[in-house]
Amino acid sequence: MSHQEPRKIISIEREVLEKNDRMARMNREDYARRGIFVLNLVSSPGSGKTALLSRTLERLQGRLRAGVIVGDLATDNDAQRLRGFGAPVVQITTDGYCHLEANMVARAAEELGLDGLQLLIIENVGNLVCPSSHDLGENVRVALLSTPEGEDKPAKYPTLYKSSQVVVLTKMDLAEAVEFDRDAARRTIAEVTPDARVFELSSKTGLGMDAWIDYLVQSIVK
Amino acid sequence: MHEVGLVSSAVDIAVESATKAGALAITRIRMRIGSLSGVVPSALEFAFECVVRETMAEGATFEYEIVPVRCRCPVCKTEFRPETAVYRCPNCGEISTELISGRELQVVDIEVEQ
Protein backbone atom coordinates (compact mmCIF):
# COMPACT_ATOMS: atom_id res chain seq x y z
CA MET A 1 0.00 0.00 0.00
CA SER A 2 1.48 3.32 -1.00
CA HIS A 3 0.78 6.55 0.72
CA GLN A 4 2.04 10.11 0.45
CA GLU A 5 4.51 10.99 3.19
CA PRO A 6 3.85 14.37 4.75
CA ARG A 7 6.47 16.80 3.49
CA LYS A 8 7.72 19.93 5.13
CA ILE A 9 10.13 22.76 4.26
CA ILE A 10 12.81 23.59 6.81
CA SER A 11 14.49 26.95 6.41
CA ILE A 12 18.28 26.81 6.87
CA GLU A 13 20.02 29.95 5.51
CA ARG A 14 23.58 28.92 6.34
CA GLU A 15 26.89 29.54 4.59
CA VAL A 16 28.45 26.34 3.24
CA LEU A 17 31.91 27.61 4.19
CA GLU A 18 30.92 28.62 7.73
CA LYS A 19 33.23 26.04 9.34
CA ASN A 20 36.24 27.23 7.35
CA ASP A 21 35.35 30.88 7.97
CA ARG A 22 35.10 30.22 11.72
CA MET A 23 38.47 28.47 11.75
CA ALA A 24 40.02 31.29 9.68
CA ARG A 25 38.72 33.84 12.20
CA MET A 26 40.34 31.87 15.03
CA ASN A 27 43.63 31.72 13.11
CA ARG A 28 43.50 35.47 12.47
CA GLU A 29 42.84 36.24 16.14
CA ASP A 30 45.70 33.99 17.18
CA TYR A 31 48.13 35.63 14.73
CA ALA A 32 47.03 39.12 15.82
CA ARG A 33 47.58 38.25 19.50
CA ARG A 34 51.08 37.07 18.68
CA GLY A 35 51.79 40.05 16.42
CA ILE A 36 52.45 37.93 13.34
CA PHE A 37 51.84 39.34 9.87
CA VAL A 38 50.45 36.62 7.57
CA LEU A 39 50.56 36.36 3.77
CA ASN A 40 48.66 33.89 1.61
CA LEU A 41 50.37 33.47 -1.77
CA VAL A 42 48.07 32.39 -4.59
CA SER A 43 48.67 31.90 -8.30
CA SER A 44 48.57 29.37 -11.08
CA PRO A 45 51.19 26.60 -11.00
CA GLY A 46 54.57 27.72 -12.27
CA SER A 47 54.15 31.45 -11.83
CA GLY A 48 57.05 31.66 -9.42
CA LYS A 49 55.67 31.40 -5.88
CA THR A 50 58.49 29.21 -4.61
CA ALA A 51 61.20 31.23 -6.38
CA LEU A 52 59.84 34.48 -4.90
CA LEU A 53 59.60 32.85 -1.51
CA SER A 54 63.16 31.55 -1.49
CA ARG A 55 64.57 34.92 -2.62
CA THR A 56 62.41 36.60 0.01
CA LEU A 57 63.62 34.31 2.81
CA GLU A 58 67.19 34.83 1.69
CA ARG A 59 66.87 38.60 1.98
CA LEU A 60 64.96 38.49 5.25
CA GLN A 61 67.51 36.23 6.90
CA GLY A 62 68.82 38.01 10.00
CA ARG A 63 66.35 40.90 9.53
CA LEU A 64 63.14 39.34 10.77
CA ARG A 65 61.90 35.98 11.89
CA ALA A 66 59.80 34.33 9.20
CA GLY A 67 58.10 30.95 8.99
CA VAL A 68 56.65 29.20 5.95
CA ILE A 69 53.77 26.82 5.32
CA VAL A 70 53.79 25.28 1.85
CA GLY A 71 50.82 23.55 0.28
CA ASP A 72 51.48 21.12 -2.52
CA LEU A 73 49.43 18.44 -4.19
CA ALA A 74 51.78 15.51 -3.89
CA THR A 75 55.47 16.25 -3.34
CA ASP A 76 57.63 18.11 -0.85
CA ASN A 77 59.89 19.55 -3.57
CA ASP A 78 58.84 23.11 -2.74
CA ALA A 79 59.62 22.70 0.95
CA GLN A 80 63.03 21.26 0.04
CA ARG A 81 63.77 24.32 -2.08
CA LEU A 82 62.91 26.62 0.81
CA ARG A 83 65.02 25.04 3.53
CA GLY A 84 68.43 26.48 4.30
CA PHE A 85 67.44 30.12 4.82
CA GLY A 86 67.11 29.85 8.58
CA ALA A 87 63.31 29.93 8.49
CA PRO A 88 61.20 26.98 9.65
CA VAL A 89 59.25 25.35 6.81
CA VAL A 90 56.29 22.99 7.13
CA GLN A 91 54.84 21.16 4.17
CA ILE A 92 51.16 20.34 3.78
CA THR A 93 50.65 17.64 1.18
CA THR A 94 47.03 17.97 0.16
CA ASP A 95 46.79 14.61 -1.66
CA GLY A 96 45.08 16.06 -4.68
CA TYR A 97 43.13 18.70 -2.79
CA CYS A 98 43.16 21.84 -4.92
CA HIS A 99 43.53 24.45 -2.17
CA LEU A 100 44.42 24.92 1.48
CA GLU A 101 41.77 25.24 4.17
CA ALA A 102 41.95 27.09 7.47
CA ASN A 103 42.10 23.92 9.60
CA MET A 104 45.04 22.54 7.58
CA VAL A 105 46.90 25.80 8.18
CA ALA A 106 46.09 25.73 11.91
CA ARG A 107 47.55 22.23 12.21
CA ALA A 108 50.63 23.14 10.17
CA ALA A 109 51.16 26.30 12.24
CA GLU A 110 51.18 24.20 15.38
CA GLU A 111 53.81 21.94 13.87
CA LEU A 112 55.82 24.97 12.73
CA GLY A 113 55.69 26.68 16.12
CA LEU A 114 54.57 30.31 16.06
CA ASP A 115 56.52 31.48 19.11
CA GLY A 116 58.72 34.43 18.22
CA LEU A 117 57.66 34.62 14.56
CA GLN A 118 57.00 38.02 12.99
CA LEU A 119 56.02 36.90 9.51
CA LEU A 120 54.18 33.80 8.36
CA ILE A 121 54.04 33.12 4.64
CA ILE A 122 51.58 30.53 3.38
CA GLU A 123 52.21 29.27 -0.14
CA ASN A 124 48.87 27.99 -1.39
CA VAL A 125 48.40 25.20 -3.92
CA GLY A 126 48.92 26.45 -7.48
CA ASN A 127 45.37 27.11 -8.66
CA LEU A 128 43.50 30.24 -9.74
CA VAL A 129 40.00 29.16 -8.76
CA CYS A 130 39.66 27.20 -5.54
CA PRO A 131 41.89 29.15 -3.12
CA SER A 132 39.82 32.29 -3.66
CA SER A 133 36.85 31.02 -1.65
CA HIS A 134 38.87 29.78 1.33
CA ASP A 135 39.97 32.31 3.91
CA LEU A 136 42.96 31.00 5.86
CA GLY A 137 43.16 33.79 8.41
CA GLU A 138 45.78 35.77 6.49
CA ASN A 139 46.21 39.54 6.71
CA VAL A 140 46.96 39.90 3.04
CA ARG A 141 46.25 37.70 0.04
CA VAL A 142 48.96 38.07 -2.58
CA ALA A 143 48.16 37.05 -6.16
CA LEU A 144 51.12 36.40 -8.41
CA LEU A 145 50.95 36.95 -12.14
CA SER A 146 53.96 35.88 -14.19
CA THR A 147 54.65 37.65 -17.47
CA PRO A 148 54.38 34.49 -19.66
CA GLU A 149 50.78 34.03 -18.44
CA GLY A 150 49.63 37.15 -20.26
CA GLU A 151 48.26 40.45 -19.09
CA ASP A 152 44.57 39.56 -19.14
CA LYS A 153 44.62 36.94 -16.35
CA PRO A 154 43.00 39.27 -13.80
CA ALA A 155 40.02 39.74 -16.11
CA LYS A 156 39.75 35.98 -16.67
CA TYR A 157 39.93 35.07 -12.98
CA PRO A 158 38.27 38.05 -11.28
CA THR A 159 37.20 36.10 -8.18
CA LEU A 160 40.80 35.48 -7.18
CA TYR A 161 42.18 38.89 -8.07
CA LYS A 162 39.29 40.77 -6.48
CA SER A 163 39.92 38.97 -3.20
CA SER A 164 43.65 39.84 -3.24
CA GLN A 165 45.05 42.98 -1.64
CA VAL A 166 48.42 42.69 -3.36
CA VAL A 167 49.31 41.68 -6.92
CA VAL A 168 52.91 40.76 -7.77
CA LEU A 169 53.99 40.67 -11.40
CA THR A 170 56.76 38.07 -11.51
CA LYS A 171 59.36 37.06 -14.11
CA MET A 172 59.64 40.67 -15.29
CA ASP A 173 63.03 39.73 -16.78
CA LEU A 174 61.05 37.73 -19.38
CA ALA A 175 58.59 40.53 -20.17
CA GLU A 176 60.16 41.55 -23.45
CA ALA A 177 60.80 38.01 -24.67
CA VAL A 178 57.18 36.97 -24.13
CA GLU A 179 55.83 40.32 -25.38
CA PHE A 180 54.18 41.07 -22.09
CA ASP A 181 52.27 44.35 -22.30
CA ARG A 182 53.07 45.89 -18.92
CA ASP A 183 50.79 48.91 -19.34
CA ALA A 184 47.85 46.73 -20.33
CA ALA A 185 48.50 44.50 -17.31
CA ARG A 186 48.61 47.48 -14.93
CA ARG A 187 45.42 48.83 -16.49
CA THR A 188 43.59 45.50 -16.15
CA ILE A 189 44.67 45.13 -12.53
CA ALA A 190 43.61 48.71 -11.75
CA GLU A 191 40.20 48.02 -13.28
CA VAL A 192 39.57 44.60 -11.79
CA THR A 193 40.99 45.26 -8.35
CA PRO A 194 41.55 49.01 -7.98
CA ASP A 195 42.61 48.94 -4.32
CA ALA A 196 45.35 46.34 -4.79
CA ARG A 197 48.98 47.28 -4.28
CA VAL A 198 51.10 46.18 -7.24
CA PHE A 199 54.74 45.08 -7.31
CA GLU A 200 56.82 44.26 -10.39
CA LEU A 201 59.82 42.05 -9.86
CA SER A 202 62.11 39.31 -11.01
CA SER A 203 63.20 36.74 -8.47
CA LYS A 204 65.96 35.72 -10.85
CA THR A 205 67.63 39.09 -11.42
CA GLY A 206 66.54 40.74 -8.18
CA LEU A 207 64.80 43.56 -10.05
CA GLY A 208 62.10 45.12 -7.87
CA MET A 209 62.91 42.92 -4.88
CA ASP A 210 63.89 45.86 -2.64
CA ALA A 211 60.41 47.40 -2.79
CA TRP A 212 58.83 44.04 -1.99
CA ILE A 213 61.14 43.40 0.97
CA ASP A 214 60.58 46.95 2.26
CA TYR A 215 56.85 46.38 2.09
CA LEU A 216 57.13 43.21 4.20
CA VAL A 217 59.41 44.83 6.76
CA GLN A 218 57.13 47.85 7.06
CA SER A 219 54.05 45.67 7.43
CA ILE A 220 55.65 44.02 10.42
CA VAL A 221 56.66 47.23 12.14
CA LYS A 222 53.05 48.41 11.96
CA MET B 1 37.79 21.78 -8.62
CA HIS B 2 36.60 21.62 -5.06
CA GLU B 3 32.91 21.11 -5.69
CA VAL B 4 32.77 17.70 -4.01
CA GLY B 5 34.06 19.18 -0.75
CA LEU B 6 31.62 22.06 -0.91
CA VAL B 7 28.66 19.82 -1.68
CA SER B 8 29.66 17.51 1.18
CA SER B 9 29.59 20.47 3.55
CA ALA B 10 26.20 21.55 2.18
CA VAL B 11 24.77 18.04 2.60
CA ASP B 12 26.22 17.85 6.15
CA ILE B 13 24.42 21.09 7.02
CA ALA B 14 21.18 19.74 5.52
CA VAL B 15 21.42 16.38 7.31
CA GLU B 16 22.17 18.09 10.62
CA SER B 17 19.05 20.28 10.34
CA ALA B 18 16.87 17.40 9.15
CA THR B 19 18.01 15.15 11.98
CA LYS B 20 17.40 17.87 14.54
CA ALA B 21 13.85 18.25 13.16
CA GLY B 22 13.28 14.48 13.46
CA ALA B 23 12.80 14.06 9.70
CA LEU B 24 13.02 10.65 7.97
CA ALA B 25 14.51 11.76 4.67
CA ILE B 26 15.53 14.84 2.71
CA THR B 27 13.74 15.14 -0.62
CA ARG B 28 15.12 18.47 -1.84
CA ILE B 29 18.03 20.79 -1.07
CA ARG B 30 18.02 24.37 -2.28
CA MET B 31 21.18 26.45 -2.55
CA ARG B 32 22.06 30.03 -3.36
CA ILE B 33 25.22 30.46 -5.45
CA GLY B 34 26.78 33.86 -6.04
CA SER B 35 28.27 34.33 -9.49
CA LEU B 36 31.50 35.50 -7.83
CA SER B 37 31.63 32.55 -5.40
CA GLY B 38 34.17 30.72 -7.54
CA VAL B 39 31.86 27.72 -7.90
CA VAL B 40 30.63 26.09 -11.10
CA PRO B 41 26.94 25.19 -10.50
CA SER B 42 26.86 22.30 -12.98
CA ALA B 43 29.89 20.71 -11.28
CA LEU B 44 28.11 21.17 -7.95
CA GLU B 45 25.05 19.43 -9.35
CA PHE B 46 27.12 16.52 -10.65
CA ALA B 47 28.97 16.13 -7.34
CA PHE B 48 25.67 16.24 -5.45
CA GLU B 49 24.47 12.96 -6.96
CA CYS B 50 27.59 11.17 -5.73
CA VAL B 51 27.74 12.80 -2.33
CA VAL B 52 24.15 12.05 -1.23
CA ARG B 53 24.47 8.28 -1.77
CA GLU B 54 23.82 6.35 1.43
CA THR B 55 22.80 9.47 3.33
CA MET B 56 19.27 10.54 4.30
CA ALA B 57 19.39 12.84 1.27
CA GLU B 58 19.81 9.97 -1.22
CA GLY B 59 17.64 10.63 -4.24
CA ALA B 60 16.95 14.23 -3.20
CA THR B 61 16.50 16.92 -5.83
CA PHE B 62 19.20 19.58 -6.07
CA GLU B 63 18.03 23.10 -6.80
CA TYR B 64 19.92 26.35 -6.89
CA GLU B 65 19.49 29.98 -7.70
CA ILE B 66 22.32 32.09 -9.08
CA VAL B 67 22.82 35.40 -7.33
CA PRO B 68 24.28 37.99 -9.72
CA VAL B 69 26.96 40.43 -8.63
CA ARG B 70 25.56 43.73 -7.41
CA CYS B 71 27.75 46.70 -6.48
CA ARG B 72 27.39 50.10 -4.94
CA CYS B 73 29.30 53.02 -6.44
CA PRO B 74 31.63 54.63 -3.86
CA VAL B 75 31.02 58.10 -5.34
CA CYS B 76 27.41 58.48 -6.46
CA LYS B 77 26.05 55.50 -4.44
CA THR B 78 24.26 54.05 -7.47
CA GLU B 79 23.54 50.34 -7.11
CA PHE B 80 24.23 48.39 -10.28
CA ARG B 81 24.79 44.98 -11.82
CA PRO B 82 28.16 44.89 -13.62
CA GLU B 83 28.31 43.16 -17.01
CA THR B 84 32.03 42.31 -16.92
CA ALA B 85 34.83 41.78 -14.38
CA VAL B 86 35.31 45.55 -14.31
CA TYR B 87 32.73 46.97 -11.93
CA ARG B 88 32.36 50.38 -13.51
CA CYS B 89 29.44 52.52 -12.38
CA PRO B 90 27.05 53.11 -15.31
CA ASN B 91 26.11 56.49 -13.85
CA CYS B 92 29.46 58.18 -13.14
CA GLY B 93 32.16 55.80 -14.43
CA GLU B 94 33.84 55.19 -11.07
CA ILE B 95 35.00 51.62 -10.32
CA SER B 96 33.37 49.96 -7.35
CA THR B 97 34.83 47.44 -4.93
CA GLU B 98 31.78 47.38 -2.69
CA LEU B 99 29.82 44.19 -3.25
CA ILE B 100 26.18 44.01 -2.19
CA SER B 101 25.81 40.43 -3.39
CA GLY B 102 27.52 37.80 -5.52
CA ARG B 103 29.80 35.92 -3.11
CA GLU B 104 27.06 33.78 -1.51
CA LEU B 105 27.32 30.03 -1.20
CA GLN B 106 24.45 29.06 1.05
CA VAL B 107 22.02 26.31 1.86
CA VAL B 108 18.65 28.07 1.67
CA ASP B 109 16.21 25.38 2.78
CA ILE B 110 15.38 21.70 2.54
CA GLU B 111 12.24 19.70 1.97
CA VAL B 112 11.91 16.69 4.25
CA GLU B 113 9.65 13.70 4.85
CA GLN B 114 8.43 13.49 8.42
Q: Give the DSSP H or E segment for A50.
A: helix A49-60
For residue B37, how many other CB atoms are within 10 A of its CB?
23
Residue A76: the pLDDT is 78
Residue B23 reports pLDDT greater than 80: yes
- What pTM did the predictor assign? 0.91
pLDDT digits (tens, 9 = 90+) for B75-102: 999 999 999 999 999 999 999 999 999 9
Residue A180 reports pLDDT greater than 80: yes
Residue A222: the pLDDT is 59
Tell me, yes or no, if B73 comes closer than 8 A to chain A by beta carbon.
no
Tell me, yes or no, if A1 comes closer than 8 A to chain B by beta carbon.
no
Mutate to test the interface with B, among A13, A15, A16 (most CBs of B within 10 A): A16
Residue B70: the pLDDT is 98
Residue A4 binned pLDDT confidence (cut-offs 50, 70, 90): low
Residue A3: the pLDDT is 59
**DSSP label at residue A131:** G
Residue A127 reports pLDDT greater than 90: no
Tell me, yes or no, if B42 comes closer than 8 A to chain A by beta carbon.
no
> Helix, strand or coil for residue A120?
strand
Residue A2 reports pLDDT greater than 60: no
**What is the nearest CA distance from B110 to chain A, expressed in angstroms?**
5
> Helix, strand or coil for residue B47?
helix
Tell me, yes or no, if A132 comes closer than 8 A to chain B by beta carbon.
yes
Count residue pairs from A and B with Cβ separation < 8 A.
100
**DSSP label at residue B14:** H
pLDDT digits (tens, 9 = 90+) for A156-171: 999 999 999 999 999 9
Residue A1 reports pLDDT greater than 50: no
Query: CA distances (Å), A209 to each of A123, A136, A180, A214, in order?
Result: 18, 26, 19, 9
Rounded average pLDDT over B49-62: 95
Tell me, yes or no, if B56 comes closer than 8 A to chain A by beta carbon.
no
**Lowest-confidence range among A78-92, A100-114, A158-172, B57-71?**
A78-92
Residue B1 binned pLDDT confidence (cut-offs 50, 70, 90): low
- pLDDT-above-90 percentage for chain A: 81
Question: ipTM value of the model?
Answer: 0.90
Q: Which amino acid is at A52?
A: L
pLDDT digits (tens, 9 = 90+) for B57-66: 999 999 999 9
Residue B12 reports pLDDT greater than 50: yes
d(CA B113, CA A164): 44
Rounded average pLDDT over A112-132: 92
- pLDDT-above-70 percentage for chain B: 99
Edge-first strand listing for the sheet containing B79-80? B79-80, B70-72, B98-101
Given an 8 Å threshold on Cβ–Cβ distance, is B36 in contact with A162?
A: yes
At residue A161, φ and ψ (nearest 5 deg) are: -70, -35
